[in-house]
Structure 1
Amino acid sequence: MSESKDILNELLRSGSKKAYEAFFKHYYQDLFLWANSILKNSEAAEDVVQEFFISFWEKKRYKSVSSNLQSYIYRAVKNACLNYLQREKKLIHDIENLEEKESAPKANEQSIENSQLIYSAINELPEKCKEVFMLCCVSGYTYNEAAEELGVSMNTVRTHMVRAFKMLREKLKSPHLFYMLFFHK
């Protein structure tokens, strides 16, 4: 700890390149190992540590260290590593989004085709059945609310919904399309 204080005092006192070189030589290897243990990537660890040392010297960060230099530099390198990981995570996320967008036209074509099949099946429902179905499934009415809106009994609404579901299952044939009808926007 005494050596750490001596290095900090020398940096603060003289601000010389010689003091900085002593600081660099004393801490580089340990900081590199620390960063590598966090990042699990030696090249990235080397970059992070070098960037730390450059910033520490150019921005004279040693002037903001009040007491424990070692604690300060390890925390700074840890934070730099976490920032690096966050940037990498965002970069990976951005690349995945780009890949999704590149494949989206194919998925969109299928989705449009599926939507057309679903709307066609709904439009083929008998008029009252379709009206009840649209109120309950599209507008989000409860059976009670739909019954009040249409001036019919709740049993009539229930009967229309049972018929609508049965007809849609038969027309859509694919469980996937029937599932899309209710769970995909």
Structure 2
Amino acid sequence: MSFAFAGVSNCMFDNYSDNELLLQRLCNNDLKAFEYLYRNSRNRLYVLALSILNDENAARDLVQDFFIDLWYFRIFETITTSLNAYLYQSVRNRAYNLKEKLRTHDRLKQGYLPQEQAMRYPLENEELGNIINRAIDQLPAMAGKVFRMQYIERLTHVEIAEKLGISKHTVSNHIARALKDLRATLKKNL
């Protein structure tokens, strides 16, 4: 005997373990489907990110940001492969991208002389500082602004995005462009 309750959706009793059904429900703005996906995927995606980044906080933030982007930007509407494969590949790619970004950040930090060496070579360091500042000034306006906020003011991508009213992805794009342009300009001048 089957009972139907007025005003109660059948999806309340659905099993979301079928990935095709889950994707369909996501496309229909089913928040319960998203909650199911989040609860059943976050731990294994966290372990994946952690294995690449070796940083618990960075891995946790990366997975959290991924799910926010997945829902907010409705990325799931463009998935053409299996849902699990997409989740795995996306988090894996984001983790490797973040790892490379952190390496680049470390290389930039190492490129500056420690304070005691700066005192020994003031003219060379002043000249180098001037070259770098001129190179930053030559960047497109927004790329230069975002670059300064990231590397001089030490703001995170989220903080920059909030201050400028742009997305984190746009911030990342500006940083990538700025670094590419700076490398080319500094290569010519050094």
Matches of 2:113 and 2:72, distance apart in 1: 39
**1:109 positional shift:** 7.5
Q: Any unmatched runs of 5+ in structure 2? A: 1-16, 125-190
Query: Please, what TM-score do these two structures have when normalized by structure 2?
Result: 0.51
Match of 2:76 in 1: 62
Amino acid at match of 1:86: E
Which amino acid in 1 is paired with 2:87? Answer: I
| Higher normalized helix content (fraction of residues) | 1
Deviations 1:27-56 (A, max 9, x none): 111101111111111111101101100111
1:76 to 90, 94, 107: 90
Answering whether residue 25 of structure 2 is matched by residue 6 of structure 1, we say: no
> Equivalent of 2:104, from 87, 90, 104?
90
The residue that corresponds to 1:147 in the other structure is none
Q: State the 4+ residue runs in structure 1 displaced beyond 3 angstroms.
A: 99-102, 107-110
1:1-185 mapped onto 2 (5 Å cutoff): 3-12=18-27, 14-99=28-113, 103-107=117-121
Secondary structure at the aligned position of 2:18 is classed as: helix
Separation (CA, whole Å) in 2 of partners of 1:23 and 1:104: 53
In structure 2, relative to structure 1, the CA distance for the partners of 1:98 and 1:6 (3 Å cut) is same
The alpha-carbon deviation at position 5 of structure 1 amounts to 2.6
Deviates more, 1:44-53 or 1:88-97: 88-97
Q: What is the TM-score normalised by the length of structure 1?
A: 0.52
> Structure 1 residues 18 and 29, CA, compared in 2 at 3 Å: closer, same or farther?
same
Aligned-residue sequence identity (percent) comes to 26
Q: Distance in 1 between matches of 2:24 and 2:81?
A: 10
CA drift of 1:104 comes to 4.1
In the alignment of these two chains, the number of paired residues is 108
**What SS does the corresponding residue of 1:99 show, helix, strand or coil?**
coil
Who wins on radius of gyration, i.e. which is larger? 1
| 1:49–1:98 distance in 2 versus 1, CA, 3 Å | same
